[in-house]
Structure 1
Amino acid sequence: MGEFWPVADLLAYLAGDWRVERTVRDLASGAEGHFTGTTVFGPLEAGDSAQNTGRPGDAGQETGLLHHESGTFVWQGTPRPAERTLWFLPGQGAGTADVRFSDGRPFHDLDLTSGRFVADHPCSADLYRGEFTVLDAHRWRTVWRVAGPAKDLVLATDYTREA
């Protein structure tokens, strides 16, 4: 891949509506799935993340973005509605974020100041390794490789800013 697009303020960059296209490949079986939908990065209200953040003194003071993804996932020819919610909390600097599941559990750090970042998330005996790349002001991409005894997957997601 060519040059990456550095992000000075990650939460400002992500804010808004994005079109999402994701392919899911099961490397063990060869099966493939496809997700199409939208991701909205909207304001995270202080009360949304006040519980379970694991940070002393955070109650009622947390700000950031609420990431809500919704769409249709087609797996082996069967379409199903799919959605997920994450929190993108302010990180150590403007180009960074602390990404958490909607119940407050840590997911991964994210630092796009260089336009590229690799994050790991252990899940039971499996390891999720995500590569984030920013292509320009309106496009970014994630590729998660999931490997372990329970899963052998590649999830590639393209985000395009909605007009």
Structure 2
Amino acid sequence: MGGFWPVPDALAYLRGSWRVTRSVRDLASGDLGRFEGTTLFDPLEGGGLLHRESGTFTWRGVPRPAERTLRFLPGPGGTVDVRFADGRPFHGLDLSAGRYVADHPCSADLYRGEFTVRDEERWRTVWRVRGPAKDLELDTGYVRAD
């Protein structure tokens, strides 16, 4: 499996609290940012998980509060249908091989995310964002907190 840890049921794996560290690189300007905080995956009424991320994002030396909310809905065979908070589709997620690549076109930009699971306590995402106004890499590490 190339060092990846297969996850037969992504929702069961993600449930709970995770410590998060994210580096953000603007590949065009060379600017670096950092996010530190927590992600909570709490059960949703009717199935799935509510993903709530909160913490501090520091960009160009200026720290500010940051948060986002997503919905992780059950898909077939242990997969996930990831949605924005307002219900719009974001991407699918299948961790059964311990690694998954997802694409999300957003206007003229393309977000490509690679999800990797290392073990029951650690997983990672790397999003590469390319478009006319964006050239970014977001590298996020998650460590189980509960």
| Same fold flag (TM > 0.5) | yes
- Give the drift of 1:44: 1.0
Structure 1 position 82 matched with structure 2 position 74: no
- Give the drift of 1:8: 1.1
Query: Partner of 1:9 in structure 2?
Result: 9
Root-mean-square deviation (Å) = 1.1
Structure 2 counterpart of 1:9, one-letter code: D
Structure 1 counterpart of 2:134, one-letter code: K
Equivalent pairs counted in the alignment come to 146
Gaps of 5+ in 2: none
Query: Which structure dedicates a bigger proportion of its chain to strand?
Result: 2
The structure number with the bigger radius of gyration is: 1
Gaps of 5+ in 1: 47-62
Structure 1 position 42 matched with structure 2 position 42: yes
- Give the drift of 1:142: 0.1
Q: Which secondary structure state, in structure 1, belongs to the residue aligned with residue 38 of structure 2?
A: strand
Question: Which of residues 95, 98, 119 is equivalent to 2:102?
Answer: 119
Question: Which of residues 123, 143, 146 is equivalent to 2:126?
Answer: 143
CA deviation digits over 1:103-150, x for unaligned, max 9?
Answer: 000000000000000000000000000000000000000000000101
- Give the drift of 1:66: 0.1
Which 4+ runs in 1 deviate beyond 2 A?
A: none
Quote the Cα distance in structure 2 between the aligned partners of 1:22 and 1:128: 16
Quote the Cα distance in structure 1 between the aligned partners of 2:94 and 2:115: 9
TM-score under structure 1 normalisation? 0.88
Structure 2 counterpart of 1:161, one-letter code: R
Structure 2 counterpart of 1:23, one-letter code: S
